Amino acid sequence: MKVLVIGAGGREHALVWSISRSRRVSEVVCAPGNAGIAQLARCIPASPKDLDDLLRVTGSEGPDLVVVGPELPLSLGLVDELQRRSIPVFGPTQKAAQLESSKAFAKRFMQRHKIPTAAYAVATSEQQALESIDLFHLPLVIKADGLASGKGVLMCETRREATEAISGLMGGKLLGSVQSSIVIEEFLTGEEISFLTMTDGKHVVPMAPAQDHKRIGEGDKGPNTGGMGAYSTDGMVDDQMREWIVNHIALPTVNGMAAEDSAFVGVLYCGLMMTARGPMVLEFNARFGDPETQAILSRLDCDLVATLEACVEGRLSDTELRWKPGASACVIAASAGYPGSYVTGRRISGLEEAARVPGVEIFHSGTALVDGHYVTEGGRVLGVTAAAATLDQSLSLVYEALGRIQFEGMYYRRDIGHRSLKSA
């Protein structure tokens, strides 16, 4: 079969890598892909932001399955359009993807279905928002309702910070566009876990759990990024806790969406805070995470495509996922200046030597091939990934490989996994 993957980052490289290992797959194509993905799949120029472009590519390629990586095409309704054309597609419809694309929708949905989450209020005017903050203890959290690439969440220690956050979001200064709706939320404390599941709209299959590091600086300091690293270990979530999360969070979400005539098919990513009151949902994502996917798929020990197809065909109850025991880690190499402005076009050397470290996979997040040489083409450039018997071993392999790679201004965090190693 022929599989088309939509997207251009490290997540899509890991998906293409995993999909191309399936015996059922004869060809993988990717739109638009990147220079790393091009080692495994034919890449077709297209903009993931342009629905017509993506429909044109899908129409001309005629894939047997489409796998959508990023959130934007989901929120634009790519899945709905492909379903209308009877093209099998893995991902939720526009309506179902609201679990990610609207935080107000997700909070109201969780309240309707008694899914554990922080106490909240939704405000649609500055006046209403200012009145609502008095209902919360400090610190509190203020979130833009819509997709904001991780930039729409503000922790406020004081009432003044909250007031500034509200006017910054609703006045348009903070995100560059006016937010007509915001969510105010109780501040939760605990360990964060990314609990990804695959679903066919009725059944749920959990993936290996992961944790990610969003901040640019070591010690989890400094501005938020798309993600500077992720890791996965068996010990993060034990069997009993996994069952609890499936039965009290993932399944009620899938059942609730189906009951509301909005069946959710694809990856239901539950961003959880493991609080003293039990796991609570911080956010839902409607797709694989980046860089969690690189860490998670490196531990997969079965055919991903069989499960993707089972989801699309509504027969996930027959399927389960197998995982390599132990752990994995992915560390992102970024361009100097990221997440602020950065230069591109820096020549990358040492990729072949790094790939020779046993067990290491190098997933490209933002690279291009110019005159036969890989060059940087994004803020996040590479995701160096390894799976091994322990987290310590995975990290040693990753850092050994990173030590062999160079480009001007290359930056990576040397403390990925430190939270887990400390508690181990």
- Residues that bind ligand AMP in the complex, under the rule CB under 6 A: 118, 141, 143, 153, 185-188, 192, 271, 282-283
- Measured from the CB of residue 290, what is the shortest distance to ligand AMP in angstroms? 14
Structure token pair of residue 44 = 């077709």
DSSP 265: -
In whole angstroms, what is the distance from residue 339 CA to residue 382 CA?
Answer: 15
If the CB atoms of residues 237 and 316 are measured against ligand AMP, the closer one turns out to be 237
φ, ψ of residue 40 to 5 degrees: the values are: -115, -20
Structure token pair of residue 243 = 């069952």
If the CB atoms of residues 200 and 283 are measured against ligand AMP, the closer one turns out to be 283
For CA atoms 211, 216, 220, 226, the dihedral sign is: negative
Q: Which long-range contacts (CB under 8 A, 24 or more apart) does 45-48 make?
A: 46/6, 48/6, 48/7, 48/8, 48/72, 48/73
If the CB atoms of residues 191 and 392 are measured against ligand AMP, the closer one turns out to be 191
If the CB atoms of residues 118 and 312 are measured against ligand AMP, the closer one turns out to be 118
Q: Which residue is nearest to ligand AMP (CB)?
A: 283
If the CB atoms of residues 192 and 392 are measured against ligand AMP, the closer one turns out to be 192
- Measured from the CB of residue 383, what is the shortest distance to ligand AMP in angstroms? 19
Residue 32 preceded by cis peptide, ω within 30: yes
Give residue 308's identity as a one-letter amino acid code: L
- Measured from the CB of residue 416, what is the shortest distance to ligand AMP in angstroms? 16
DSSP 137: P
If the CB atoms of residues 142 and 204 are measured against ligand AMP, the closer one turns out to be 142
- Please report the DSSP string for 114-156 in residue order: T--B--EEEESSHHHHHHHHTTSPSSEEEEESS--TT-SEEEE
Query: Would strands 2-7 and 65-68 be described as parallel, antiparallel, or unpaired?
Result: parallel
- Measured from the CB of residue 209, what is the shortest distance to ligand AMP in angstroms? 15
If the CB atoms of residues 27 and 186 are measured against ligand AMP, the closer one turns out to be 186
Phi-psi region of 414 (alpha: psi -120 to 50; beta: other; left: phi over 0): alpha
- Measured from the CB of residue 152, what is the shortest distance to ligand AMP in angstroms? 7
In whole angstroms, what is the distance from residue 175 CA to residue 191 CA?
Answer: 28
Q: Hey, is 162 helix, strand or coil?
A: helix
- Measured from the CB of residue 413, what is the shortest distance to ligand AMP in angstroms? 16
If the CB atoms of residues 60 and 189 are measured against ligand AMP, the closer one turns out to be 189
Q: Could you identify the residue written with the tokens 């293409």?
A: 16
Burial-class residue 164 by CB neighbours within 10 Å (0-12, 13-18, 19+).
middle
- Measured from the CB of residue 140, what is the shortest distance to ligand AMP in angstroms? 8
What are the angstrom distances between the C-alpha of 230 and each of 294, 328, 373, 420? 8, 8, 28, 11
What are the angstrom distances between the C-alpha of 177 and each of 41, 105, 142, 146, 390? 36, 19, 16, 11, 44
- Measured from the CB of residue 363, what is the shortest distance to ligand AMP in angstroms? 22
Structure token pair of residue 256 = 């609730």
If the CB atoms of residues 283 and 377 are measured against ligand AMP, the closer one turns out to be 283
- Measured from the CB of residue 118, what is the shortest distance to ligand AMP in angstroms? 4
In whole angstroms, what is the distance from residue 387 CA to residue 14 CA?
Answer: 13
Query: CB neighbours of 239 closer than 8 A, spacing ≥ 6?
Result: none
If the CB atoms of residues 143 and 346 are measured against ligand AMP, the closer one turns out to be 143
Comparing CA positions, the residue from 139, 420, 96 lying closest to residue 284 is 96
- Measured from the CB of residue 351, what is the shortest distance to ligand AMP in angstroms? 31
